[in-house]
Amino acid sequence: MRQPLAQRLWHWQHKGTPYLFVLPFFLIFCTFMLYPLLKSVYLAFTCTNGPRSIVWVGWDNFNYLCRDRNFWIAVRNTLVYAAASIVLQLPCSMGLALLLHRQWLRGRTLLRFAFFAPYLCGQVFVAVLFSVLFVPRFGLINRLLQLVSGHGLELRWLGEPSLVMPALIIVTLWLYTGFNMIYFLAALQNVDQGLYEAADIDGANAWQKFRHVTMPGIKPIVVFVVVMSTIGSFQLFELPFVLLNNGSGVNQAGLTIVMYLYQTGFETGNLGYAAAIGWVLVLLIMSISALQLRLGRSQP
Amino acid sequence: MNVRARLQAWLPAVPFGPAPMLLLLLAAGTGILLLLFPVRRSLASLDFWIFAINHRDAYQRAIADFEAARPGVRVACLLVDQTAVSRRLQAAFMSGTHVPDMVEVLAADTGLFFRGPLDDIGFLDLTERLKQTGLYDRMVTARFSVCSSRGRIFGIPHDVHPVMLAYRRDIFEQEGIDPATIVTWDDFVRVGRRLTKDIDGDGVIDRYMLEAEDTSATHFEMLLLQAGGGYFDAAGTLIMDNAVAQQALCAFARMVAGPGRIAGNLGGGQILTQAMQNDYFVCLLCPDWRTKVLEQDIPNMRGKLALMPLPAWTAGGRRTSTSGGTMLGITRPCRNLPLAMDFAQHLYFNANELALRFRTTNIIPPVKDSWTQAVFDEPRPFWSDQPIGRLYCTLAGDVPPVYVTPFMSMARARMGEAVIEATRQYAAHGEQELAAFVGAVLARKADDVRRQMARNPYR
């Protein structure tokens, strides 16, 4: 006997509804992510000037990448920046978090907001702001340094190759220290207070408590922040792009991998080579993130 | 069974209630509507993108006149950020999506659009049209270099941008210097060594003879072009390491580095304003467009600045250069080519329009027969009552060509690095083997560009 219509519909929907709900995301993902990703793999093996003129060059783009001095300058700069982000920024964030976690500190909420606030400005605005602060003779930073040193000083923060990266790192410190502090604060609030009491009873000092109670308690968040900061550092683009006036700075001192990708793809129009750079960047980020996660999981 | 009863029978069968079904129906409905009635493209007869805000202000009246003379015609002029113009246009040309009918592109970016085979270039080839109509001969032909690739012309130059030297007339007078005696760069350096000073004795120079950057090719490029050099020749061959470039770079290094330096740099915008007010620079390299920027940014310098031709590299040599520029291109998918050409002529060749526009922008048009107009002889109080239009027009015919290729930005970047290395070498070792060092650096940088050029299959 034939089932009633409502029952048949229910049966069909019971089977098909999950796919129907996934369908919009799937279509968007395929159109805007999967297809461009696959296309970029193909592009990486071509020299192209748009869909009408594509020349297959095989591994030539990757071969050239290995010999491309500018690419290696970009890799070096990015690695230096990423290392500085982790070595300088994360301890600062952690220190601030530990300080602002103290119950006795007055105005904690206000201070937390104050340290977090630069992040709300966004990279472009901060870059514009610092490009004025870093001006050689009349900029606020040099004026402050002149005041402190007591004699004429003309540091060309964005005009001296050796100062470009420190300038970028200073801006990043100001921008992201407060942001990462929020993660650490959240992690610190989740550490079991009973463990501190037990450590007190055992006579542990402040360092021992930090080393053996706090750090293991917040380790997953530390690993997460390290991985995210590393990925963010490898994707660095807007900040140097605006700060260095749409360029890569003197002697390419501010050239990052993404910036080189952009220059190659959109300023030179070599989309195939830019795609190759993009895929090498993906591999680089994946390897470093995997290494960090592995190190994070390993027991001391 | 009536509709209501049918619905009542269906609705319980919808597993997540009627809301998702309603959403699905809405999505399907709107999709069908969009398919049946797609969004209409611009209603204007011509879509025209520009990137310079002063161009937009200057074009408003011209567009109104053009539309008034042609009932039913409407020109939609859209101001788009300069970087966005290039990137969006480049992407649109490649993907075949909507592009405007006409567009102004920064001269520094034109090379980008000339990358592929000639047939794939997104702009219309105007060579025959310009030559047959005589428009080509009416213009400063050197300026077509920024609009051309492989001998074909893909745009109309908006400007000439001759370069003069803006100098502090008051300081020159105080120091008893007659600008007419500065004929060559050697003369200029001699005077510059007198005027460049550490006034307060703190070990830092407080006044430089010239604003010039030692960390990029921005200012050096003007001197290089003046000397007859450049990045590429008319055939698109890289020439950035030829003998002219070597000599110019050696001379430039002597100006911006070492104990006898006469040039410094701080950056543009507000900082330059402050620097000028503090007498930090005596002279500035000044393309015509920069005179307007200075008038607007440092109005209190009114009457203190004046213009003189650039000192020549050798006595009797070229007294100007060029910097910047804009190209007007008509895109291949242009909907109405005759109207677009008509509009281009109205904007770029109408003598009255050009005269009025000069008053607004201080930009000398490349149309030679327009230079006879009285507007160019008007004295300007800001510039010590000099007729700056006439001064620039006198030099405009002598501007050097700037040949472009898709590798222009790369060549510029490498030249910037060469400038840094040369100036550092000079600061550290003086004249000792400077020429050999500069030659080697330029050759190395040029080889870097040549390697990239060699990988371009569309030569």
pLDDT digits (tens, 9 = 90+) for B21-70: 788 889 899 999 989 988 777 788 999 999 988 888 889 989 999 999 99
Average pLDDT, chain B: 91
Does B265 contact A159 at a Cβ distance shorter than 8 Å? yes
Residue B212 placed within a domain: yes
Rounded CA Rg of chain B? 27
**Which residues in chain A touch residue B216, judged by CB atoms under 8 angstroms apart?**
247, 250
> ∠B422-B425-B427 over CA atoms, to 5°?
110
Which has the higher per-residue pLDDT, B254 or A152?
B254
For residue B278, pLDDT over 90 is answered with no
- pLDDT value of residue B57: 83
Range of the domain at B169: 163-322+401-454
Q: Touching check for B116 and chain A: CB below 8 Å? A: yes
Whether the CB-CB separation of A86 and A173 falls below 8 Å is answered with no
Structure tokens given for A126: 């901060």
Q: Touching check for B417 and chain A: CB below 8 Å? A: yes
Examine the domain organization and report whether B237 and B178 are in the same domain: yes
Q: Rounded to two decimals, what is the model's pTM? A: 0.82
How close does chain A come to B403, measured CA to CA in Å? 16
For residue B372, pLDDT over 90 is answered with yes
pLDDT digits (tens, 9 = 90+) for B128-153: 999 999 999 999 999 999 999 999 99
Does B204 contact A135 at a Cβ distance shorter than 8 Å? no
The DSSP output letter for A251 is G
Examine the domain organization and report whether B306 and B445 are in the same domain: yes
How close does chain A come to B269, measured CA to CA in Å? 10
Residue B412 placed within a domain: yes
Examine the domain organization and report whether B211 and B302 are in the same domain: yes
Examine the domain organization and report whether B173 and B280 are in the same domain: yes
Q: What are the Cα distances from residue B249, in Å, to A24, B63, B187, B199, B283?
A: 60, 45, 18, 29, 20
The DSSP output letter for A3 is P
Examine the domain organization and report whether B121 and B244 are in the same domain: no
pLDDT digits (tens, 9 = 90+) for B153-194: 999 999 999 999 999 999 999 999 999 999 999 999 999 999
Residue B31 placed within a domain: no
The CATH number of the domain holding residue B102 is 3.40.190.10
**Which residues in chain B touch residue A20, judged by CB atoms under 8 angstroms apart?**
24
Residue B175 placed within a domain: yes
Whether the CB-CB separation of A274 and A49 falls below 8 Å is answered with no
How close does chain B come to A248, measured CA to CA in Å? 9
Average pLDDT, integer, range B91-97: 85
Residues 347-386 of B with CB under 8 A from A: none
- pLDDT value of residue A29: 95
Examine the domain organization and report whether B235 and B279 are in the same domain: yes
Domain count, chain B: 2
Average pLDDT, integer, range B260-271: 82
Examine the domain organization and report whether B243 and B101 are in the same domain: no
- pLDDT value of residue B417: 87
Residue B356 placed within a domain: yes
Average pLDDT, integer, range B382-387: 96
Q: Touching check for B412 and chain A: CB below 8 Å? A: no
- pLDDT value of residue A2: 64
Q: What are the Cα distances from residue B349, in Å, to A11, B63, B345?
A: 74, 14, 5
Does B266 contact A52 at a Cβ distance shorter than 8 Å? no
For residue B19, pLDDT over 80 is answered with no
Residue B11 placed within a domain: no
Q: How confident is the model at residue B455 (pLDDT cuts 50, 70, 90)?
A: confident
Does B410 contact A268 at a Cβ distance shorter than 8 Å? yes
Q: Which residue has the tokens 């040369």?
A: B422
Q: How confident is the model at residue B118 (pLDDT cuts 50, 70, 90)?
A: confident
Q: How confident is the model at residue B94 (pLDDT cuts 50, 70, 90)?
A: confident
Cβ count within 10 A of residue A17: 14
Examine the domain organization and report whether B362 and B228 are in the same domain: no
Q: Which residues contact B162 (CB under 8 A, 6 or more apart)?
A: B287, B288, B320, B321, B322, B364, B392, B395, B396, B398, B399
Give the dihedral sign, CA B222/B163/A268/B237.
negative
- pLDDT value of residue B269: 66
* Structural domains in chain A plus CATH codes: 1-35 (no CATH), 68-297 (1.10.3720.10)
Residue B38 placed within a domain: no
User: Could you say which of B372, B392, B412 is where a domain stops?
Assistant: B392
Examine the domain organization and report whether B133 and B194 are in the same domain: no
How close does chain A come to B424, measured CA to CA in Å? 11
- pLDDT value of residue B142: 96
Average pLDDT, integer, range B373-402: 96
User: Could you say which of B341, B360, B392 is where a domain stops?
Assistant: B392
Residues 259-318 of B with CB under 8 A from A: 265-267, 270-271, 274-275, 280
Give the dihedral sign, CA B201/B170/A135/B194.
negative
Question: What string of pLDDT tens digits covers the 300 residues of chain A?
Answer: 566 776 777 777 778 878 878 888 999 999 999 999 999 999 999 988 777 778 899 999 999 999 998 899 999 999 999 999 889 999 999 999 999 998 888 888 899 999 999 999 888 899 989 988 888 777 888 888 888 877 766 788 887 888 999 999 999 999 999 999 999 999 999 999 899 999 999 999 989 999 999 999 999 999 999 999 999 999 999 899 888 877 777 778 889 999 999 988 888 888 899 999 999 999 999 998 888 888 877 655
Q: What percent of chain B has pLDDT over 70?
A: 97
Residue B227 placed within a domain: yes
Backbone angles phi, psi at A277, to 5 degrees: -60, -45
User: Could you say which of B339, B370, B392 is where a domain stops?
Assistant: B392
- pLDDT value of residue B1: 59
Examine the domain organization and report whether B303 and B436 are in the same domain: yes
Strands (E), chain A: 46-48, 54-56
Q: How far apart are CA B99 and CA B304, in angstroms?
A: 46
Q: Touching check for B26 and chain A: CB below 8 Å? A: no
Rounded CA Rg of chain A? 25
pLDDT digits (tens, 9 = 90+) for B193-245: 999 998 888 778 889 999 998 888 999 999 999 999 999 999 999 999 999 99
Q: Pairing relation of β-strands B148-149 and B152-153? A: antiparallel
Give the dihedral sign, CA B97/B101/B105/B109.
positive
**ipTM of model:** 0.75
Q: Touching check for B203 and chain A: CB below 8 Å? A: yes
Examine the domain organization and report whether B252 and B283 are in the same domain: yes
| Residue A162, Cβ density class (10 Å: 0-12 exposed, 13-18 middle, ≥19 buried) | exposed
Average the pLDDT over each of A261-265, B75-79, B244-248, B453-457 and give the range with the smallest value.
B453-457
Q: How far apart are CA B350 and CA A96, in angstroms?
A: 66
Q: How far apart are CA A215 and CA B311, in angstroms?
A: 68
Q: How far apart are CA A297 and CA A179, in angstroms?
A: 24
Structure tokens given for B421: 């290395």
**Which residues in chain A touch residue B458, judged by CB atoms under 8 angstroms apart?**
49, 53
Examine the domain organization and report whether B316 and B350 are in the same domain: no
